[in-house]
């Protein structure tokens, strides 16, 4: 009885989350020839847990049933994923906000073009596969596309119009998501090595070229709390409002992730509300960003692992990998050779265009500077809008 009660108490939702995080960061710390998964190791641990749970959703110890995954836990993991997403993108917005609007110029259009082109290329490859493979349904194809581009809002949009075939969309997302994350994470680490870039010298040039003087506030302000929780909560609340606004006609909204990014940029830009200081220390934002990333990967990875085994097909996995790689490579070539962006801004805009939250975390670690968030923040909203629209159009048109 004691053992069964102990095991039942251990396998709580809190234990599962933190155990996955522990294993994930240990996996992420493993380096092979200088490459590591970093925070994406958490995704791998979450997927492995989900795969285990798909085989053994529950087991009995004594008279106690231990549940590894069911509908109730699925809803909880979805909440964890949503919470992690808004924490991450809000932090990114608040970090980039003080410089984002001040740096807006003609070159910023390059980021907008990048967001549009990357999604259009991914959509074109997806449509091509549906034409070549008559057994590939539009719903499965769009699921593969949203997984390959790691776009949860795109997934939600596709499910909305898929009706009874929504499960196919979710299955495709789960199949392509793993490579969608790991592919971009490894790409931003590999490119500087392939190009034989001296990271310290590249960082110095990048920071010098992208440094913008931030003027101090011209009025007396006071902090309401020492850690900046008020402005952070305010940014998330405002972001949810912004994200809920729908554009008439196309029924598009930014959702919580896009809305919180915009709200973070706005609050980070102004830095105060009347006499209230809305600035947050960089170490605090870095902590929120990393914690949000970990929660997002756990919340999205576990359900993805559960769906992975039942629905995986080698051909579908290959389709998803190609949908990740083609926009990734096209985007990089355009950024470097057409828009003439430097290496870090090129990679930053690619992580935004691929709507890849984990890849931005990897790029920050690789580059050693938070300044790369500006390119991500400039590209992400337009890419987010286009992937949502594309997901709906492909399902309805095909």
- The reported pLDDT for the residue numbered 1 is 61
Instruction: Extract the residue ranges of the chain whose pLDDT is less than 50.
Output: none
What pLDDT does residue 346 have? 92
Q: What is the pLDDT of residue 117?
A: 94
Q: Please report the pLDDT score of residue 249 as a whole number.
A: 65
Determine the pLDDT at residue 114: 92
What is the pTM assigned to this prediction?
A: 0.76
> In whole angstroms, what is the distance from residue 7 CA to residue 193 CA?
46
324, 175 in Cβ contact below 8 A?
Answer: no
Phi-psi region of 62 (alpha: psi -120 to 50; beta: other; left: phi over 0): left
Predicted pLDDT at 330:
94
Q: Are 377 and 96 in contact (CB under 8 A)?
A: yes
Name 218's Cβ contacts closer than 8 Å, sequence gap at least 6. Answer: none
Q: What is the pLDDT of residue 127?
A: 94
pLDDT for residue 153: 67
Express each pLDDT in 77-96 by its tens digit: 888 888 888 898 888 888 87
DSSP string, 4-36: HHHHHHHSSHHHHHHHHHHHHHHHHT--BTTB-
Spatial CA neighbour of 76 closest among 302, 309, 290, 307: 302
| Phi and psi torsions of 304, nearest 5° | -65, -40
Nearest by Cα to 362 from 372, 149, 333: 372
- Domains for the chain: give ranges and CATH numbers: 2-397 (1.20.1530)
Return the pLDDT at 2: 65
- pLDDT given for residue 323 in this prediction: 95
Could you write out the DSSP letters of every residue in 61-123? ETTEEEES--HHHHHHHHHHHHHHHHHHHHHHHHHHHHHHGGG-STTHHHHHHHHHHHHHHHH
């Amino acid at each position: 009885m004691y053992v069964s009660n102990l095991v039942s108490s251990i396998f709580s939702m809190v234990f599962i989350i933190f155990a996955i995080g522990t294993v994930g960061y240990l996996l992420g710390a493993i380096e092979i020839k200088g490459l590591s998964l970093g925070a994406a190791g958490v995704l791998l641990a979450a997927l492995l847990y989900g795969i285990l749970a798909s085989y053994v959703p529950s087991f009995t110890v004594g008279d106690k049933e231990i549940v590894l995954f069911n509908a109730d836990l699925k809803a909880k993991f979805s909440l964890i994923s949503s919470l992690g997403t808004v924490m991450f993108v809000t932090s990114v917005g608040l970090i980039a906000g003080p410089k984002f609007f001040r740096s807006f110029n003609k070159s910023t259009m390059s980021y907008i073009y990048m967001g549009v082109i990357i999604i259009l290329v991914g959509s074109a490859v997806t449509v091509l596969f549906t034409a070549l493979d008559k057994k590939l349904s539009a719903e499965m194809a769009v699921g593969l596309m949203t997984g390959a581009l790691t776009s949860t809002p795109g997934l939600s949009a596709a499910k909305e119009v898929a009706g009874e075939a929504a499960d196919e969309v979710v299955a495709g997302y789960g199949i392509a998501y793993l490579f969608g994350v790991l592919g971009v994470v490894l790409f931003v680490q590999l490119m500087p090595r392939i190009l034989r870039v001296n990271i310290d010298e590249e960082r110095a040039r990048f920071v010098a070229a992208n440094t913008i003087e931030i003027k101090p506030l011209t009025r007396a302000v006071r902090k309401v709390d020492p850690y900046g929780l008020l402005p952070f909560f305010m940014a998330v609340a405002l972001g949810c409002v912004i994200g809920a606004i729908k554009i008439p006609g196309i029924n598009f909204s930014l959702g919580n992730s896009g809305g919180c990014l915009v709200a973070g940029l706005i609050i980070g830009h102004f830095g105060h509300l009347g006499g209230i200081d809305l600035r947050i220390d960089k170490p605090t934002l870095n902590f929120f960003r990393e914690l949000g990333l970990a929660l997002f990967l756990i919340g999205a990875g576990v359900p993805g692992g559960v769906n992975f085994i039942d629905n995986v097909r080698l051909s579908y996995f290959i389709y998803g990998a190609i949908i990740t790689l083609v926009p990734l490579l096209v985007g990089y070539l355009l950024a470097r050779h057409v828009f003439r962006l430097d290496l870090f801004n090129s990679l930053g805009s690619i992580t935004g265009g691929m709507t890849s939250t984990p890849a931005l975390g990897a790029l920050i670690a690789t580059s050693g500077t938070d300044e790369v968030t500006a390119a991500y923040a400039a590209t992400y909203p337009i890419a987010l809008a286009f992937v949502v629209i594309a997901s709906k159009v492909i399902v309805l048109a095909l």
